[in-house]
Amino acid sequence: ALGLSCEWIEFRPRPDGSALQVRRGWSAPPPFDLPEALQASGLPLEQPWLFPDGPEIPDPLSGVLKAAGLRAAAYFPLMQEGQWAGGLLLGTGEPRVWTEEERSFLETAAQAIGLVLERAALYEAVARQAEELAFLNRLALQANRASNLQELLTTAIRELVTVLRADRGAIALIAASGDHLVVMAEYNPLDTPSALGERIPIQGNPSMAWILQEQRPLAIEDVATDPRIAPARALLEQVQVRSLLIVPLWMGDWIVGTLGIDHVRERHIFTPEEIRLAETAAHQLADALKRFRMIRILQAQADRLHVLYQTAQALAELQDLPTLLSHALEEILTHLPADGASVYVTDERNPELLRVMVEKGYSAAPVIQVSAQAAEETITGRVAARGEPLWVEDCAGYPYPAASRQIIEREGIRSHAALPLQRGEERLGVLHVIWRTRRTFDPETRDLLESLADLLAAGISNARLVEALRETVAQREALNRALEEALAAREQMIQNVSHELRTPLAVAMGYLDLLIDGAFGPLTPDQQEALRASRNRLGELHRYVELLLTLQAAREGKILRQPVDLRQLIQTAARIVQLRLDPEKHRLALNLPSRAVWLVGEAEGLARAIGELLDNAVKFSPDGGPIEMELRIEGGVARIIVRDEGVGIPEEVVGRMGEPFYQVDGGTTRRFGGMGIGLAVARAVAEAHGGRLRVRPRSPRGTEAILELPLGGI
């Protein structure tokens, strides 16, 4: 509009930001900074000025314009909210007198240009803010949903570099050792040398020290000169970084990594907005790292429990020890995982020898000495003797004994764990686990292997106990068989003798009865007394024979089934016993129903069972006292109850009452006579009729015997 040859518009949306410059008509970009040149020439930035000719322009601005071939020049500031935001510089190669109309026109033009640029800057800021918010929203969603950490880091650094208009970026995470960072992800669209996998030291690193001390990001405008970046300068120059922003990834009070934003084409001053955006992204990534870490911890715990469960399950099988350990090692190698394992077990006959019982994945020495002299000659002997685990992450640098070194080199073992197997003070063996790639033994891995060693020790101990128990059981079974055979032979002999004695005893008792009755002539009183004593003894022997035969018949189920009146049986048995009672000592009382009580059974066996209960009550009441017999009907069951106030029975032997030949005071010096078969006969008869016998002590003294018989018969 004014016919000028040159113009220069410079606009700075932020006072500390970069300038937007538009130049026209300049043969070459002027080698000066507009605000610096104006201020150096004593010209205020906020006021316009117009010079008609070069000599009137103060230095050093005049020299710059003269070098550009300009004589006349005009300058008008671009203001934004009352602050200088740039300027409009115009010039021509000829002297020019600036009219008032031109001045007014240029002032109006400067205001219009400033307004347009301000609006454009605001629009750009809003658009950029929207872009940043969209990026943060995407990152938050990705961080919450990601299942692959590497993919998340790669995507995050690519999008952050794009939003920040940077040249490249990288994310480094702290190594397990804690002494260095490793570059895990990068975005490198310029194809500069890659930094992936590079290590960044932490100790002696001024930039990390500064971040830890200041607790905030570190912005490096010039990598070549900033001392805080010295340890990594060679790496940064190798990948052509000129300006750098390092943002820490915090997990609580600990740095778990860093996020780096690089400018490689030209130096860059990072604005507060850029730093805040990078910090927000770093915070979201740190939260994602925390989530992934918790997932890894939970997965590791689940894997640990799975290995322990599978190993424990293998050890729980009742198998021989080699098979049991083989299954356990298969589970360990599958789920740990590892390349090989072996288990040495102490020789039971020689505790100073360890024998390899199971080996998988490599060949181990078959026998190891663990005596005081030989223990240090092998790792196995050393671990067994000391009772302490050995963790070797780098086998090449560990001082193995010669015998062990030979196996390590032959098998190509890189990492190795050896753990003692012991239960308390008992030495049981040694577990070896080997890897052919280097392995780091973190606390979780050590805890897992120690738990597995405890399981194996328990398995070995239990297997040996089971084997010893099997031998004991086999011996006991052999003894039981021998005892059963002896008891069977005894019972058979008793039955044979009983059958053989039954008839002769009956004949002998018959002849004695005839003699006592005088059938063969008169007898003197002494002769009669002697014969009666013999008759009584034979009667006792005959009773025992009948009891034994009744016991055998009841056990074999050989009983005659016919209707039986229990009430009548009890009355008959009571009359027989009453004849033998001393009325001065014993009083027998019956409590019976008024009517008959019928069941289907064997009268002879039931009569003997009832008689034995009464005889026991009399025998074990030596000082006399009342004896009561009651017949009670309850719920289809007849209960014959005999009570006395005699010596009673101890509580601890109640369970044995009714065993054949068992007596509470057994032995040759026992107080009460008998063979201990009376209650056995009563119990056998009751069980043959579908019932049972119960005997229990009474309070304060005496015994109660209950013969239960179902009225339905058998």
Rounded to an integer, the average pLDDT of 43-72 is: 83
263 domain residue, yes or no:
yes
Distance CA 92, CA 187 (A): 48
Residues 437 and 321 in one domain: yes
456 domain residue, yes or no:
no
At 10 the pLDDT is 74
User: CATH number of the domain that 485 lies in?
Assistant: 1.10.287
Count structural domains, the chain. 5
Residues 356 and 405 in one domain: yes
Kindly report which listed range (113-127, 167-181, 386-400, 645-659) carries the lowest average pLDDT score.
645-659
pLDDT, one tens digit per residue, over 436-478 is: 998 888 888 888 888 888 888 888 888 788 788 888 888 888 8
Distance CA 221, CA 18 (A): 13
- Is residue 707 over pLDDT 60? yes
- Identify which has the larger pLDDT, 432 or 201: 432
Residues 361 and 265 in one domain: no
676 domain residue, yes or no:
yes
pLDDT, one tens digit per residue, over 89-112 is: 888 888 888 888 888 988 898 888
Going by C-beta distance under 8 Å and a sequence separation of 6 or more, which residues neighbour residue 509? 535, 538, 539, 542
Tell me which residue of 119, 33, 116, 109 sits closest to 77, measured CA to CA.
Answer: 109
Residues 335 and 400 in one domain: yes
Report the mean per-residue pLDDT for the chain: 82
Sequential DSSP letters for 256-282: EEEEEEEE-SS--PPPHHHHHHHHHHH
448 domain residue, yes or no:
no
Going by C-beta distance under 8 Å and a sequence separation of 6 or more, which residues neighbour residue 204? 231
Sequential DSSP letters for 315-336: HHS---HHHHHHHHHHHHHHHT
Rounded to an integer, the average pLDDT of 209-236 is: 85
- Is residue 427 over pLDDT 70? yes
Going by C-beta distance under 8 Å and a sequence separation of 6 or more, which residues neighbour residue 53? 71, 72, 95, 96
- Is residue 666 over pLDDT 60? no
540 domain residue, yes or no:
yes
Residues 687 and 564 in one domain: yes
| Band of pLDDT at residue 411, cut at 50, 70 and 90 | very high
- Is residue 668 over pLDDT 50? no
Residues 168 and 75 in one domain: no
418 domain residue, yes or no:
yes
Domain containing 283: what range?
156-288
Cβ proximity of 89 and 7 under 8 Å: yes
- Is residue 673 over pLDDT 50? no
At 35 the pLDDT is 80
Residues 583 and 668 in one domain: yes
Q: Write down the residue that tokens 């056990």 correspond to.
A: 555
pLDDT, one tens digit per residue, over 512-555 is: 778 887 777 787 888 878 877 887 777 666 666 666 666 666 66
482 domain residue, yes or no:
yes
At 144 the pLDDT is 82
User: CATH number of the domain that 405 lies in?
Assistant: 3.30.450.40
At 36 the pLDDT is 80
pTM of this structure: 0.46
Cβ proximity of 106 and 48 under 8 Å: yes
225 domain residue, yes or no:
yes
The share of the chain scoring above pLDDT 90, in percent, equals 15
Residues 546 and 582 in one domain: no
- Is residue 31 over pLDDT 70? no
Kindly report which listed range (352-356, 369-373, 479-483, 515-519) carries the lowest average pLDDT score.
369-373
At 417 the pLDDT is 94
Residues 422 and 358 in one domain: yes
- Is residue 667 over pLDDT 50? no
| Band of pLDDT at residue 409, cut at 50, 70 and 90 | very high
Domain end among 540, 557, 574: 557
Distance CA 35, CA 84 (A): 10
Domain end among 557, 582, 612: 557
Residue 294: CA count within 13 A, CB half-sphere = 6
Domain end among 288, 307, 341: 288
- Identify which has the larger pLDDT, 249 or 22: 249
The SS3 assignment for 13 reads coil
Joined tokens for residue 433: 């686990």
Residues 337 and 254 in one domain: no
Residues 700 and 568 in one domain: yes
| Band of pLDDT at residue 669, cut at 50, 70 and 90 | very low
Residues 569 and 705 in one domain: yes
